[in-house]
Amino acid sequence: MKAIEVKCLEHKFQDSSKISICGMEFHADLGETVALIGQNGSGKTTLFFHVVGLLTPSGGSVRVLGADVNSPGFEKARRNVGMVFQEVESQLIGPTVWDDIAFAPFNAGWAKKDVEAGVEEMMGHFGISHLADRVPHYLSGGEKKKVALAGTMVMRPKILLLDEPFAHLDPSSKRDLIRHIEHYRAEGDKCVLITEHDLGTIHLLSDRVYLLEKGKGMTFEGTPEQLMEDRDALSRADIEIPELDELFMRLRKEGYKVKVPKTAEEALQALKKMRK
């Protein structure tokens, strides 16, 4: 069963403007991390909102864990989906950080001690234990993001949607979050969907990438390596190739049998092998 399947989605907004995500079908499976890229306004967030059931399609179909978002069966599937919004402000609802992270577990009927353990664990993961009693509304952008991540990931959803999760995070917080996501996807039965503009991060985290273009729908699907080889798709996505990846792409063109490394360590090992 596919975790997410999107076919020719059309959405009519209240002001009667329309967005169409037709063309190539979009799907994501449990066990994979898929990046969704595209220029501002291409419809990435709109697509995510459909997957969590916040919007209803006016055309086409969106299926989550086999259930159409328009069907009664979706309510059950919906419980397996968690999303961290691009604008996290709107999803922080608890009077304190602790309450906010505990909200979904309490709502799901967890026992008090399980909620306490889950909240403590998440606050520890995201380095926000010292913010437990603070009012979420008054936190900084990066702090709010971490609270929203903790409040979503505490439920360990099968499908995790991260809409530009690295915005507002400083470099060490970004590294921490990358580690958490890697840890999360290593559990094997999770589907992580991520929107991101940095190709290095996409390469590091995702198994496949889709490019969404306004008015055209999905116009590329492939691995991050295939995306790097597709200059045209990169330019349509308005994404730059990192210098290190560029160097290794050129080495491949020169006939060197090297993989494009995901980290400086991998690059170093590849260069050492070449010297031998």
Ligand X SMILES: Nc1ncnc2c1ncn2[C@@H]1O[C@H](COP(=O)(O)OP(=O)(O)OP(=O)(O)O)[C@@H](O)[C@H]1O
Q: List residues binding ligand X (CB under 6 A).
A: 13, 15, 17, 19, 38, 40-46, 86
46 binds Mg ion (CB under 5 A): no
Concatenating the DSSP letter of every residue in 31-55 gives T-EEEEE--TTSSHHHHHHHHTTSS
| Residues 167, 212: Cα–Cα separation, whole Å | 20
Nearest CA to 104 out of 45, 147, 168 is that of 147
Kindly state the smallest distance separating residue 111's Cβ from ligand X, in Å: 38
Per partner kind, with CB cut-offs from 5 to 8 A, the member of Mg ion, ligand X, none near residue 129 is none
45 binds Mg ion (CB under 5 A): yes
Kindly state the smallest distance separating residue 12's Cβ from Mg ion, in Å: 18
The DSSP output letter for 69 is T
The answer to whether 52 and 79 are in contact (CB under 8 A) is no
86 binds Mg ion (CB under 5 A): yes
Residues 210-229 that bind Mg ion (CB under 5 A): none
| Residues 112, 140: Cα–Cα separation, whole Å | 29
42 binds Mg ion (CB under 5 A): no
Per partner kind, with CB cut-offs from 5 to 8 A, the member of ligand X, Mg ion, none near residue 124 is none
33 binds Mg ion (CB under 5 A): no
> In the block, which residue shows the tokens 């991520």?
194
Kindly state the smallest distance separating residue 237's Cβ from Mg ion, in Å: 14
14 or 172, CB closer to ligand X? 14
Per partner kind, with CB cut-offs from 5 to 8 A, the member of ligand X, Mg ion, none near residue 172 is none
45 or 201, CB closer to ligand X? 45
Kindly state the smallest distance separating residue 254's Cβ from ligand X, in Å: 35
Kindly state the smallest distance separating residue 197's Cβ from ligand X, in Å: 8
Can you list the positions of beta strands (E) in the chain?
4-12, 18-21, 26-28, 33-37, 59-64, 67-68, 81-84, 159-163, 191-195, 208-213, 217-222
Buried b (16+ CB within 10 A) or exposed e, 8-30: bbebeeeeeeebbbbebbbbbeb
Residues that bind Mg ion (CB under 5 A): 44-45, 86
